[in-house]
Amino acid sequence: MRTPELGPAARPVAVPDDLDAPSLRKATGRVELPSHIRWSGPPVTYDMADRADRMRVYEQVLREGTEDDVRFYVDAAELAEVFDELVLPPAVRSAWAQWLQRGHRAAARC
């Protein structure tokens, strides 16, 4: 049984404050997400140069990733551009909307 104390809404959301640091190394080319992010189904290769693939990576990493995962797979400027199009659980959307609204990038809708 899911309760507020158990389930997706109770999980912490990894929101590193330094996501927009220019020194961070970012994923490029074709990537396969680690099993702690894409934990169900067969492995899938995503092309980070393809907008649709990149959005799927962002959705999965924002939901399941650690701060280090977010730093590596997510570009802050791109996130600000596509944020309203991403399919995210309410708790994840709220945490990231707050990050965007704190001045890291243009305000995003919740």
Domain ranges of the chain: 26-104
Spatial CB neighbours of 85, under 8 Å, sequence gap ≥ 6: 55
Predicted TM-score (pTM) of the model is: 0.85
Categorise residue 54: left if φ over 0, alpha if ψ from -120 to 50, beta otherwise. Answer: alpha
> Structure tokens of 14?
């990894």
DSSP 100: I
User: What is the separation, in whole angstroms, between the first and last Cα of the chain?
Assistant: 27
Assess contact for 22 and 35: CB atoms under 8 A.
Answer: no
CA–CA gap between residue 109 and residue 16 (Å, rounded): 20
> Structure tokens of 24?
């961070």
Taking only the tens of pLDDT, the chain with its 110 residues reads 555 666 666 678 999 989 989 999 999 999 999 999 998 889 999 999 999 999 999 999 999 999 999 999 999 999 999 999 999 999 999 999 999 988 765 434 44
